Chains A and B, each alone.
Chain A
Amino acid sequence: MSADCVLQTKALTKRFRQVTALDRLNLELHAGEVLALLGSNGSGKSTTFRLLLNIYQPTDGEAFLLGQPSRKLNGRDFDKVSYVSEGQKLPLWMTVRGFLDFCAGFYQEWDAGMCQRLVESFGLHEGQKLKFLSRGQRMKAALASVLPSRPKILLLDEPFSGLDVETRAQVSHLLRTLAQEHSLAIVLTTHDVEEVEPVATRVAILSRGELKLDEPLANYLGRHRLLQLEGASLESLPEELRALFRPMPNTPPPGWYFTDRNEPALQERLQASMSEGARASLLPMNLRQILTAHSLPVV
């Protein structure tokens, strides 16, 4: 494990009776990285978080946070490990200010200035009780209750859920800044894949408890391209090029193909194989298109 590795799992497994919720998960995360952990409902994302945070005990394998086995994570360890989830049960009888002050009392380090800035930028009313806040506002309050503690690793379960477009962009920007400027490592799960691209540096995909992908996001986006053919068909391409492309599922009009093996010379090779008047273009794909292309049940 390298010096800046803040999170590591080794064959981490969790079974609930007959159901394997997580199957031999191997992950590593370094300071400053933002990992988007994607997967459909029940794929094991929340279970992974709970195992990392010592809420659940693994059936097999192990996990480490900040070099500490997650099984021993307790008390003071959470000074530098923070977690916010969509369904987090907040003390709804408290006011926003009361809640933030109460949480501040637990941490050894607390940036009151940052807390105040977050409250103001999130547009939270300090005197309002949490029970009167919308889901999105509660998420903002929850974020404001952990970020001022300057954690080294932040686990976010559906942080964009219930947030309006403006606040999503705000939160994305904030997370990116914290990761880049303060070397904060972040793991986030979301179904809002549009929010992943601006903030994530890596993407991992879980399906039925198995890790299907773990790759730097730029790499993942870079090796996927959409093929647009004008005056030609896929069948007219040479065999070795044709094998690189697959049709886009469920995407009208037909005649759209994609590849996950893009390379710098591919555009030239394609154009060279075209007959006169025909044109092949390789277009960049966003994450949503890629996941759709692979029929990954994430979005």
Chain B
Amino acid sequence: MKTLLHILKKDLRRYAWAWGVLAVCAVARVYLDGTTAGMLDNDFNQFLSFVTSIIGSILGFVLVVMVVQEESLSDPDAYWITRPVNRLHLLFSKLVFLVLVVILPQVLADSLVLVLNDGSGRVGFALAGIFPALAIWQSQVFLAAQTRSLPRYLLLVVCLVVGFYIVLFALAFLGTSILGDIYDIDMGVLPADTPSWVTELVQTVLWLAGGFGILAFYYLRRKRLLAWLCLLPLVLASAILTTGGSSSGFLPGFDMNFESDVEIISVRESGTRFTPEGEFVTYEAEIQVPQVESGQDVWVQVNYMELASAGASFHIEGNYRSQLLNSASLRGDTYQLRLGSLKKADAEKLGDAINISGGLEISLSSQQPLATLPLKEGASLTVNGKRLVIGSYYRDEGNLVLELAAIIPNSSFEAEQLSDPAEAFLGQFSFALKDKQSGQLQIGELGGGYDFGMSANKITGQAQFKLAPDESVDAYELQVFTRVVDGRDWVFVDADKVPLQKQTR
């Protein structure tokens, strides 16, 4: 214990400046994510956000390497190696430093952000984030302990990454004949319905204990090869202690828990658009999604679509916005889907039956009204640790487009709804334009996604509504819904001789 504190005090004194910088980064994070400040377009806040996130991540990474290498295990000439230093105490001192200086400020910032965003009930989960973070950072300690300097550490990391990809490609191409498709290997033994927080807890305990064991072994014995070999059973155990039936096999990937069977029944010309580039014809398709349960909404994003007939094919660009589909039949499993538009000259070349192919992202979800916000810049709401702000809005070709920003913390071990980085606002919000007088709602298209918010970071997106140019924005307000995504799928559709209903001109 005395040795632990002795070395820890030395490291804290030595890197007091870095500790200060990381603490400032954490405070800036609370300011940016715990208020509306960081979510509005403001040069200073954007600069602060950029600088603190870059400095915070790079400094944390460099700091851990430098602190571990202060008492290098791999240098036979290191002054400390022949001093009465208990190696386990030395390891503990480095891990305590890591927790105190690198992890704790981040976790405390996460907790404060939750408190400021009305999510006090989730603080315990945010604090528990220390453990998975430590499990991950232990790998840095392991690599740093084997190298004498930062350049050597970086070289080792580069070699490991390159080696990993070589092994992966070798497995994928050469190992296929022996192992089959590695993406189909399913080693998971946990029941498929195991909640994600349970899996995360199991993995955290495994990597925390196993990682520490390997680190302790390396610190005590300095047998590098054996330490690396000890990783193999740990990786195997990690692959086994996952849920069975994962569609991505034992390789990491987003679990698409819903396999849709979408069919395009017919296509029709739905209208005409006039733009500076010319006249465009818009298209809608009637599609069938059989797996939808009662009460579930179907959201679809058209990534691309190709219409072909009589040797000519035309490409419809997707707008990368999710649209809530309206039911088109009494059976309730066919829906109207806005596909996009083609130039009128191209549209006229299509016959009455077309071949259609394309890519869709489809998700099933439900939504509940949360709150209404006035349509003005800076209007915000906080709920259960999340914060939503209207950044700005503008009008475009009969549309009202809202630029929105959200903070959506994602704490460890929480039993939370499915969130997918590909969904706008991680699939957790949807919006409607509400007529103040009639109360009528118009659900908006959602744009954004792919923000990869691992914790409390800003996520931006758009909500688009139809609004005639002569209508005033003041007559409306924004209805915000909490959205729960039940399942997602990426679908490739391909149908021949689909009837095309042309509009009368």
Interface string of B68-93 (1 = CB under 8 A from A): 00101001111101111111000000
Would you call B82 and A53 a contact (CB within 8 A)? yes
CB within 8 Å of B: which of A66-109?
74-79, 81-83, 85, 87-91, 93, 102-103, 105-108
Contacts of A142 in B (CB 8 A): 79
Would you call A108 and B78 a contact (CB within 8 A)? no
Contacts of A278 in B (CB 8 A): none
Would you call B84 and A91 a contact (CB within 8 A)? no
Nearest CB in chain A to that of B223: its residue: A57
Would you call B84 and A50 a contact (CB within 8 A)? no
Nearest CB in chain B to that of A85: its residue: B77
Would you call B10 and A78 a contact (CB within 8 A)? no
Would you call A106 and B6 a contact (CB within 8 A)? yes
Would you call B6 and A105 a contact (CB within 8 A)? yes
Nearest CB in chain A to that of B81: its residue: A55
Would you call B10 and A102 a contact (CB within 8 A)? yes
Q: Is B3 an interface residue (CB 8 A)?
A: yes
Contacts of A75 in B (CB 8 A): 84-87
Q: Is A132 an interface residue (CB 8 A)?
A: no
Q: How large is the interface on A (under 10, 10 to 19, 20 to 34, 35 or more residues)?
A: 20 to 34
Given A106-B3, A106-B6, A89-B84 contact (CB < 8 Å): no
Q: Is B14 an interface residue (CB 8 A)?
A: yes
Chain A CB within 10 Å — which of B3, B14, B79 has the most? B79
Chain B CB within 10 Å — which of A56, A75, A81, A103 has the most? A75
Cross-chain contact of B84 among A78, A90, A93 (Cβ < 8 A):
A78
Contacts of A89 in B (CB 8 A): 72, 75, 77-79
Q: How far apart are the CA atoms of A199 and B465 in the complex, in Å?
A: 93
Q: What is the distance, in angstroms, from B89's C-beta to the closest C-beta of chain A? A: 8
Interface string of B59-75 (1 = CB under 8 A from A): 00000000000101001
Would you call B70 and A91 a contact (CB within 8 A)? yes
Contacts of B86 in A (CB 8 A): 74-76
Would you call B76 and A50 a contact (CB within 8 A)? yes
Cross-chain contact of B77 among A77, A78, A87, A103 (Cβ < 8 A):
A87
Contacts of A82 in B (CB 8 A): 82
Contacts of B84 in A (CB 8 A): 75-79, 106-108
Q: What is the distance, in angstroms, from A30's C-beta to the closest C-beta of chain B? A: 21
Given A91-B70, A106-B85, A55-B79 contact (CB < 8 Å): no
Q: How far apart are the CA atoms of A103 and B81 in the complex, in Å?
A: 12
Nearest CB in chain B to that of A102: its residue: B10
Q: How far apart are the CA atoms of A185 and B147 in the complex, in Å?
A: 34
Q: How far apart are the CA atoms of A162 and B72 in the complex, in Å?
A: 25
Q: How far apart are the CA atoms of A87 and B76 in the complex, in Å?
A: 10
Interface string of B261-289 (1 = CB under 8 A from A): 00000000000000000000000000000
Contacts of B79 in A (CB 8 A): 88-91, 142, 145
Q: How far apart are the CA atoms of A105 and B1 in the complex, in Å?
A: 12
Contacts of B75 in A (CB 8 A): 89
Would you call B83 and A55 a contact (CB within 8 A)? no
Given A93-B14, A106-B6, A55-B85 contact (CB < 8 Å): no
Q: What is the distance, in angstroms, from B448's C-beta to the closest C-beta of chain A? A: 47
Contacts of B10 in A (CB 8 A): 102
Nearest CB in chain B to that of A52: its residue: B82
Q: What is the distance, in angstroms, from A123's C-beta to the closest C-beta of chain B? A: 21
Nearest CB in chain A to that of B82: its residue: A83
Q: What is the distance, in angstroms, from B15's C-beta to the closest C-beta of chain A? A: 10
Q: How far apart are the CA atoms of A56 and B3 in the complex, in Å?
A: 24
Contacts of A83 in B (CB 8 A): 82
Contacts of A87 in B (CB 8 A): 77
Q: What is the distance, in angstroms, from A156's C-beta to the closest C-beta of chain B? A: 12
Q: What is the distance, in angstroms, from B78's C-beta to the closest C-beta of chain A? A: 5
Given A89-B75, A93-B14, A78-B3 contact (CB < 8 Å): no
Q: How far apart are the CA atoms of A78 and B76 in the complex, in Å?
A: 15
Chain A CB within 10 Å — which of B78, B84, B86, B220 has the most? B84
Contacts of A107 in B (CB 8 A): 83-84
Nearest CB in chain A to that of B10: its residue: A102
Q: What is the distance, in angstroms, from A240's C-beta to the closest C-beta of chain B? A: 51
Nearest CB in chain B to that of A81: its residue: B82
Chain B CB within 10 Å — which of A85, A106, A108 has the most? A106
Contacts of A85 in B (CB 8 A): 77
Nearest CB in chain A to that of B85: its residue: A106
Q: How far apart are the CA atoms of A50 and B81 in the complex, in Å?
A: 11
Q: How far apart are the CA atoms of A53 and B79 in the complex, in Å?
A: 13
Q: How far apart are the CA atoms of A15 and B255 in the complex, in Å?
A: 52
Q: How far apart are the CA atoms of A53 and B81 in the complex, in Å?
A: 9
Given A88-B77, A102-B10, A74-B87 contact (CB < 8 Å): yes
Nearest CB in chain B to that of A83: its residue: B82
Nearest CB in chain A to that of B3: its residue: A106
Q: How far apart are the CA atoms of A50 and B77 in the complex, in Å?
A: 9
Nearest CB in chain A to that of B78: its residue: A89
Q: What is the distance, in angstroms, from A7's C-beta to the closest C-beta of chain B? A: 14
Contacts of A56 in B (CB 8 A): 76
Q: How far apart are the CA atoms of A232 and B3 in the complex, in Å?
A: 71
Q: What is the distance, in angstroms, from A11's C-beta to the closest C-beta of chain B? A: 23
Nearest CB in chain A to that of B71: its residue: A91
Q: What is the distance, in angstroms, from A65's C-beta to the closest C-beta of chain B? A: 11
Contacts of A76 in B (CB 8 A): 84, 86
Nearest CB in chain B to that of A82: its residue: B82
Contacts of B220 in A (CB 8 A): 74
Contacts of B85 in A (CB 8 A): 75, 78, 106
Interface string of A47-59 (1 = CB under 8 A from B): 0001001011000
Contacts of A102 in B (CB 8 A): 6, 10
Cross-chain contact of A55 among B14, B76, B87 (Cβ < 8 A):
B76
Q: How far apart are the CA atoms of A87 and B78 in the complex, in Å?
A: 9
Nearest CB in chain B to that of A157: its residue: B77
CB within 8 Å of A: which of B29-70?
70
Q: What is the distance, in angstroms, from A72's C-beta to the closest C-beta of chain B? A: 11
Q: How far apart are the CA atoms of A78 and B220 in the complex, in Å?
A: 15
Q: How far apart are the CA atoms of A78 and B81 in the complex, in Å?
A: 9
Would you call A78 and B82 a contact (CB within 8 A)? yes
Q: What is the distance, in angstroms, from B339's C-beta to the closest C-beta of chain A? A: 65
Contacts of A91 in B (CB 8 A): 70, 79
A-B contact pairs, 8 of them (CB 8 A): A53-B81, A78-B82, A88-B78, A106-B3, A107-B83, A107-B84, A142-B79, A145-B79
| A-binding residues in B (CB < 8 A) | 2-3, 6, 10, 14, 70, 72, 75-79, 81-87, 220
Give 7 closest A-B pairs by Cβ, nearest first: A83-B82, A78-B84, A75-B86, A105-B6, A79-B84, A55-B76, A106-B83
- Other A-B pairs, 8, CB within 8 Å; known A88-B79, A102-B10: A50-B76, A56-B76, A75-B84, A77-B84, A105-B2, A106-B84, A106-B85, A142-B79
